[in-house]
C-alpha cells in the first residue's frame, strides 16, 4: 500500500512551544496523524531539534523550517513508497538529511514522519498499533511510573533540586489497578499538601511543586500520601527518582541549592546510597551528569545490583553511546526517548541491543508533549515493562496512560501486568522504609 500524501504543520505543545504535527494518507484513504514532543533538560548529544531563528515569532522557537522540510523535501521523496517498509523509509529519511545528528532536516521533522508511517501501516495491516510494532505475542502491560512531584528545571527551580519524584505502583494486579492507585495517591498528596499549607500548583509534567526544604522531603510527603490511601510503601508502591543531575552539575560539583550543598561525585553517590537505604527507591535515572562518565561506573557498582541505574542525558537513545556504556558497565538500563534519536527503527535498534545485554529499557515521554499516545503502544509492543509519562493528570500525560487502559481492555484477560518483575532486587520487593 502506497503513501499518497504527507503533510506537516506547526502546532503548540503542552508548554505553549511550537512543535510539529504530521498527517499521512495512504492510497486507499487511510489517514493518520502524529505529534512530536520536546524536552527541557536535554542531553547535549541528542539528535538536533530544528527551530526557526526568527526571533519575532515564538522567541525564535518556531518550527516552520522543519515543517517546510517535511512538506517540500521529505514528502515528495516518500510519496509512492510502500508504507510497510518502515526501515527502508527510516533509512531514506536519514540519508535525505545526510548529517550525523539530523541537523539538516531536523530530528523533529524526521520523527514525525517516521511515526506517522508506522501508525498508517498498522491501520493498513488491520492491527492495533502495539501488535503491529511488536507482533501478536505482545501482551505485557507496563508499570506506570508517575511523576507526582516536579522539581528542577520542570518547576523553574522553585521546588526541589531533583526533577522527578515518581511512584511505581508495582504491587497492583493489573495496569488498571496500578493507574487507579496512582490517581488516588496523587489526590491524597494534594490533600496532604493543602493540609501542610504548601501550594498545589503543578510543574511541566503535572506533578506538584511544593517549596520543600530538602530533596528527601518529597519522599516523606509521598510516603504519607501512600499510607493515607491504605497502601504500603515498599510493598505496593516504590519510588523512582530522576534528579536530571546534568542540570545542577557545574565545574565538577553537584550544586544542591535547596540544602546549600556542593558535592563531588563520590559524595553525591553517598547521598543517593543513603536515600536508597532509607526509602524504597527502585530506579535512579541520571543520578550523575552526562559529563561524569567515569563516576557512573562507581554509581553502578555501588547501587546497580539492587536498583535500576538508568541513563538518559548520557545515552540519549543513541546506539553507539549505549554500546560504550555496556562495554564500560556504567549503568544497567537506558531511557528510551524516540525524539532523542529521531526514527523508530533506530530506537528499536537501541532496545534490541540493550535487551541482548540484559539492560532494562525505560520508555519515556518528554516534558513538552502533545496528546499523541504512540509511546503507550510502543512500550506494550516491545514488552519493556515500565514507562514514565508524567503525573496521572493533565491531558497530554493521561492520554498515554489512558491508551494503556484501552490496550489492557482490548487484550481482555490475555494481558500480563509487569508488576514486581521489573524490580532488580532478588527478593522481588523493594525495601520498606
Ligand X SMILES: C=C(OP(=O)(O)O)C(=O)O
Residues near ligand X (CB under 6 A) are 39-42, 242, 244, 312, 364, 366-367
262 assigned to a ligand binding site: no
Residue with smaller CB distance to Mg ion, 41 or 265: 41
- C-beta of 397: minimal distance to ligand X in Å? 11
- DSSP code at position 7: E
Ligand-binding site membership of 312 (annotated): yes
Q: From 10-18, 187-195, 210-218, 306-314, give the range in contact with Mg ion by CB under 5 A.
A: 306-314
User: Nearest residue by C-beta to ligand X?
Assistant: 39
Q: Which stretch binds Mg ion (CB under 5 A): 23-31, 68-76, 237-245, 386-394?
A: 237-245
Closest among 213, 231, 215, 214 to 223, alpha carbons compared: 231
Interface with Mg ion, residue 204, by CB under 5 A: no
- Nearest CB to ligand X, comparing residues 39 and 304: 39
Q: Which grid cell is 286?
A: 541520571
Among 312, 369, 372, 396, binds Mg ion (CB under 5 A): 312
Q: Is 197 annotated as a binding residue?
A: no
- Beta carbon of residue 79, minimum distance to ligand X (angstroms, whole number): 32
- Of the pair 204, 242, the CB lying nearest Mg ion is at 242
DSSP 333-395: EEEE-HHHH--HHHHHHHHHHHHHTT-EEEEE--SB--S--HHHHHHHHTT--EEE---S-SH
Binding mask 254-293 vs Mg ion (x if CB under 5 A, - otherwise)? --------------------------------x-------
Cα Rg of the chain, angstroms: 21
Task: Judge whether 294 is annotated as a binding position.
Answer: no
Is position 161 an interface residue for Mg ion (rule: CB under 5 A)?
no
Q: Which is nearer to ligand X, 373 or 415 (CB)?
A: 373
337 is known to lie in a ligand binding site: yes
Q: Specify the residue, 153 or 418, whose C-beta has the smaller distance to Mg ion.
A: 153
Q: Is 72 annotated as a binding residue?
A: no
Length of the chain: 433
Q: Which of ligand X, Mg ion, none has residue 366 at its interface (CB below 5 to 8 Å by kind)?
A: ligand X
Distance CA 388, CA 144 (A): 6
Query: Angle at which helices 217-228 and 175-195 pack, to 10 degrees?
Result: 110
Sign of CA dihedral 266, 270, 275, 276: positive
d(CA 162, CA 148): 12
Q: Is 4 exposed, middle or buried (0-12, 13-18, 19+ CB in 10 A)?
A: middle
Q: Which are the catalytic amino acids?
A: 205, 337
* 57 annotated ligand-binding residue: no
Backbone φ/ψ region at 179: left (φ over 0), alpha (ψ -120 to 50), beta = alpha
For the bound state, the minimum distance from the C-beta of residue 95 to ligand X, rounded and expressed in Å, comes to: 28
Let me know the angle formed at the C-alpha of 402 by 397 and 406, rounded to the nearest 5 degrees: 155
**CB-CB neighbours of 414 under 10 Å:** 8
CB atoms within 10 A of CB 432: 12
Pick from ligand X, Mg ion, none: which does 367 bind, CB < 5 to 8 A by kind?
ligand X
Q: Which is nearer to Mg ion, 46 or 286 (CB)?
A: 286
Q: How far is CA 161 from CA 41, 54, 219, 272, in A?
A: 13, 33, 13, 13
- Bridge partners for 368 per DSSP: 38
Please choose which of Mg ion, ligand X, none residue 420 contacts, taking the beta carbon within 5 to 8 angstroms, the exact cut-off set by kind. none
- Check if the beta carbon of residue 415 is closer than 8 Å to that of residue 140: yes
On whether 154 is known to bind a ligand per the annotation, the reply is yes
SS3 32: strand
Q: DSSP letter at 69?
A: I
Q: How far is the CB of 38 from ligand X (least distance, A)?
A: 7
User: Which partner, Mg ion, ligand X, none, binds residue 42 by CB below 5 to 8 Å per kind?
Assistant: ligand X
**How many residues in the shown chain lie near Mg ion by CB under 5 A?**
3
Q: Which is nearer to ligand X, 14 or 178 (CB)?
A: 14
- In whole angstroms, how close is the CB of 188 to ligand X at the nearest point? 24
- The H or E element containing residue 26 is strand 18-26
Q: Min. distance of Cβ 228 from ligand X in angstroms?
A: 28
253 is in an annotated binding site: no
Q: Nearest distance from residue 243's CB to Mg ion, in Å?
A: 9
Give residues with Cβ within 8 angstroms of 311, minimum separation 6.
285, 286, 296, 322, 325, 330, 331, 333, 334, 335
Q: Is 242 in the site for Mg ion (CB under 5 A)?
A: yes
Residues that bind Mg ion (CB under 5 A): 242, 286, 312
Residues placed in the known binding site for (2R)-2-phosphoglycerate = 163, 337, 366-367, 388
Residues placed in the known binding site = 154, 163-164, 242, 285, 312, 337, 364-367, 388
Residues placed in the known binding site for substrate = 154, 164, 285, 312, 364-367, 388
Amino acid at each position: 500500500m502506497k503513501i499518497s500524501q504527507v503533510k506537516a504543520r506547526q502546532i503548540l505543545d503542552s508548554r505553549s512551544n511550537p512543535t510539529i504535527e504530521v498527517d499521512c494518507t495512504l492510497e486507499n484513504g487511510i489517514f493518520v496523524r502524529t505529534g512530536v514532543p520536546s524536552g527541557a533538560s536535554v542531553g547535549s548529544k541528542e539528535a538536533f531539534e530544528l527551530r526557526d531563528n526568527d526571533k519575532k515569532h515564538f522567541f525564535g522557537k518556531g518550527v516552520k523550517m522543519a515543517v517546510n522540510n517535511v512538506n517540500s523535501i521529505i514528502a515528495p521523496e516518500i510519496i509512492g513508497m510502500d508504507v510497510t517498509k518502515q526501515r527502508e523509509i527510516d533509512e531514506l529519511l536519514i540519508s535525505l538529511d545526510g548529517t550525523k545528528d539530523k541537523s539538516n532536516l531536523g530530528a523533529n521533522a524526521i520523527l514525525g514522519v517516521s511515526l506517522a508511517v508506522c501508525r498508517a501501516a498498522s491501520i493498513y495491516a488491520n492491527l492495533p498499533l502495539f501488535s503491529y510494532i511488536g507482533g501478536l505475542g505482545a501482551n505485557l502491560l507496563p508499570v506506570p511510573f508517575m511523576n507526582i512531584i516536579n522539581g528542577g528545571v520542570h518547576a523553574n527551580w522553585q521546588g526541589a533540586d531533583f526533577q522527578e519524584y515518581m511512584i511505581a505502583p508495582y504491587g497492583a494486579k493489573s495496569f488498571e489497578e496500578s493507574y487507579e492507585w496512582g490517581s488516588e495517591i496523587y489526590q491524597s498528596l494534594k490533600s496532604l499538601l493543602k493540609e501542610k499549607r504548601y501550594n498545589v500548583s503543578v510543574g511541566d509534567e503535572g506533578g506538584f511543586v511544593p517549596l520543600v526544604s530538602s530533596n528527601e522531603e518529597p519522599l516523606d510527603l509521598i510516603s504519607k500520601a501512600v499510607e493515607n490511601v491504605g497502601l504500603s510503601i515498599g510493598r505496593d508502591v516504590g519510588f523512582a527518582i530522576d534528579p536530571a543531575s546534568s542540570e545542577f552539575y557545574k565545574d565538577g560539583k553537584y550544586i544542591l541549592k535547596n540544602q546549600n550543598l556542593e558535592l563531588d561525585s563520590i559524595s553525591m553517590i553517598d547521598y543517593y546510597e543513603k536515600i536508597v537505604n532509607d526509602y524504597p527507591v527502585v530506579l535512579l535515572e541520571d543520578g550523575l551528569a552526562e559529563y561524569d562518565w567515569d563516576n557512573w561506573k562507581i554509581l553502578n557498582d555501588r547501587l546497580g545490583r539492587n536498583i535500576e541505574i538508568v541513563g538518559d542525558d548520557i545515552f540519549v537513545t543513541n546506539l553507539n553511546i549505549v554500546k560504550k556504556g555496556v562495554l564500560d558497565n556504567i549503568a544497567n538500563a537506558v531511557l528510551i526517548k524516540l525524539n532523542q534519536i529521531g526514527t523508530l527503527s533506530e530506537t528499536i535498534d537501541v532496545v534490541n541491543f540493550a535487551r541482548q545485554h540484559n539492560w532494562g529499557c525505560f520508555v519515556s515521554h518528554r516534558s513538552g508533549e502533545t496528546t499523541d499516545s504512540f509511546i503507550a503502544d510502543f512500550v506494550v509492543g516491545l514488552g519493556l515493562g515500565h514507562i514514565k509519562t508524567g503525573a496521572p493528570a493533565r491531558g497530554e500525560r493521561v492520554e498515554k496512560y489512558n491508551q494503556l487502559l484501552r490496550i489492557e481492555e482490548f487484550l481482555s484477560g490475555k494481558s500480563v501486568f509487569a508488576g514486581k518483575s521489573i524490580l532488580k532486587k532478588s527478593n522481588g520487593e523493594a525495601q520498606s522504609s
